[in-house]
Structure 1
Amino acid sequence: MQHDERPTGSPLDGLEGLITPPVSRRGFVMTSLIGGLTLATTRVEAQAIRTDSEGIEAGEVAIPTGDGPMPGYRAVPRGEGPFPIVLVIEEIFGVHDYIKDICRRLAKAGYCAVAPELYARQGDLATMTDVQVILRDVIAKTPDAQWIADLDATAAWAASAARGDGKRLGAMGWCRGGRATWLYAAHRADLKAAIAWYGPLGGERTPIQPRTAGDVAAEIKAPLLALYGGQDAGIPVAAVEEARDRARAAGRSVELVVYPEAPHGFHADYRPSYRKAQAEDGWSRALAFLKANGVG
């Protein structure tokens, strides 16, 4: 009989079913975060929200992982804490000013918010200007096991070194990060709440990305708030409803909110897709959801 020789405490522990081991690590291509907004999509910089740092501490950090420091951004209220932790999961564009601002908004609301650069090993998103290149050369080549382990490392760091409370842990992600939110909710038993902003439920299955968000809907371990746009050309509302229904049939908790007139990316205030009313309503719901489920 063949035995699993992985030691206890391996980054792969608890990931069976979501990944295909083994996962090989590689060096970090990005050692610092993007300055400004992404170059890879149309920007409307005049409408971008800019949250100040009054009353909080905010800035770039180095998050310890098994193969070296990973760049990230942390914002936390001033004071001793510990403060509830929210893992902020980026879009495909990297931890740029929009994601950093979200961290500051969460810190203003009383959270230790940390956004790790989950694609730091696969490519330098600061220099990329073509969405298709990012999808092909970065997103498709990032193993799910890698970023799941990196989120675990981020949560551990936030609890031990960033005044975070590891017993009050939530996750929130946008677009590709919304997909990651579903998968992470299926992975982590002590996650208290998950919020997925228009995360795709389907997609291609590959050896390094073996399951879709829809595949794991019935396995989520934390209550999940799903915020989606009715005019999202890439994510049919029926697919989200199917995932919700599959989760509920398995006794899981999914609250789905669909904004009928909203497109994909309606929360991205730096893009033409931004819809202020829906974004603000979703944000209010997200904060209330965190608190209602013990992350607050």
Structure 2
Amino acid sequence: MRDPDFINFQPTKFNRREFVMTTLATGFAAAVQPVSAQTQITTDTAGLTAGEVKIPAKGGDMPAYRAMPANGKNLPTVLVVQEIFGVHEHIKDVCRRFAKLGYLAIAPELYARQGDVAGKGMDDIRKVVAQVPDAQVMGDLDDSAAWAAKNGGDPNKLAITGFCWGGRITWLYAAHNPKLKAGVAWYGRVEGAGTELQPKNPMDVVTSINAPVLGLYGGQDAGIPVEGVMKFKAALAAAGKKAEFVVYPDSPHAFHADYRPSYREKDAKDGWSKLLAWFKQNGVA
């Protein structure tokens, strides 16, 4: 089965500038239904300020989900980058998990100019996501970090984590923002052919990566071969970059997604523990 964040739809030239999606979707994306209710984790909002916010960005106000300790100030900040399915309930819950641990977590809807993927099937989702320029995503993450710094976050303690589509973005953002303290990429694509709007993959920006990044991958991921991950690891080491990798031998793609059959509880929990330790080790927490 092909990795769902792999996009082979060829985009047309990006020319939209205004947001077409003005609010976040509720619940889970249609493409991941039915949800595995027995394993789905739900984090409450007790003691938190949590919900949708609007972030000033190029073209208008971008919807995002923000969670933080109530009345928190100078909080370590983590940008949470969505799976290919957008900012649906799982991504929101990840934000609340971070907030319970003292972070300001924010997940911007990075497809908001191109459309809402919540009600679409995989083929239509790929067509939307293929229209999202990497340059736009980098700018929107910068704007999200700037918003967080003005709303309770500490700009000197900025981290990023992303899943699936967002795993690739995590590596790219580590090469984009020199102020980033640390990143954790969950099963993000590391190599492949570029397109007009997504011209480079992590393998192409090895020498530009600024922040320490931890990569968490599944040994049974049919769309991201372990051989490619190891080649990327070697390239980072050769370039003198601080990066570590954990490959869970028996896990498939999306092993952290507790609402899907791909979820592997033991490896997901271990990865989460390693993420928290990585952030602490690198001056975020």
TM-score normalised over the length of structure 1: 0.89
1:24 to partner: Cα distance: 4.5
- 1:115 is matched with which residue: 107, 128, 135? 107
8 Å Cα contact 2:31/2:118 also seen in 1: no
Structure 1 counterpart of 2:213: 224
> Residues of 1 paired with 2:14 and 2:157: CA distance?
29
Structure 2 counterpart of 1:46: 38
Structure 1 residue runs of 4+, over 6 Å off? none
Which aligned pairs between 1:92-107 and structure 2 lie closer than 5 A? Answer: 92-107=84-99
Post-superposition CA distance 1:204-228 (Å, at most 9, x none) = 3112111012211332100000000
Structure 2 counterpart of 1:124: 116
2:60 matched to 1:56?
A: no
How many percent identity over aligned positions?
54
Structure 2 counterpart of 1:241: 230
Structure 2 counterpart of 1:154: 144
1:276 to partner: Cα distance: 0.3
What SS is found at the alignment partner of 1:141? Answer: coil
What letter corresponds to residue 151 of structure 1 in structure 2? L
1:46 to partner: Cα distance: 3.1
8 Å Cα contact 2:87/2:107 also seen in 1: yes
What SS is found at the alignment partner of 2:179? Answer: coil
Structure 1 counterpart of 2:9: none
1:248 to partner: Cα distance: 1.3
8 Å Cα contact 1:168/1:295 also seen in 2: yes
2:162 matched to 1:173?
A: yes
Task: Let me know the Cα RMSD of the aligned residues.
Answer: 1.3
Structure 1 counterpart of 2:8: none
2:57 matched to 1:65?
A: yes
1:41 to partner: Cα distance: 2.1
CA distance 1:23–1:123, change in 2 (3 Å): closer
2:261 matched to 1:269?
A: no
Q: Identify which range, 270-279 or 214-223, moves more after superposition.
A: 214-223
Post-superposition CA distance 1:26-60 (Å, at most 9, x none) = 22121111111111124213321000011211101
1:25 to partner: Cα distance: 4.4
Structure 2 counterpart of 1:141: 131
8 Å Cα contact 1:23/1:146 also seen in 2: no
TM-score normalised over the length of structure 2: 0.93
What letter corresponds to residue 198 of structure 1 in structure 2? Y
> Residues of 2 paired with 1:110 and 1:80: CA distance?
8
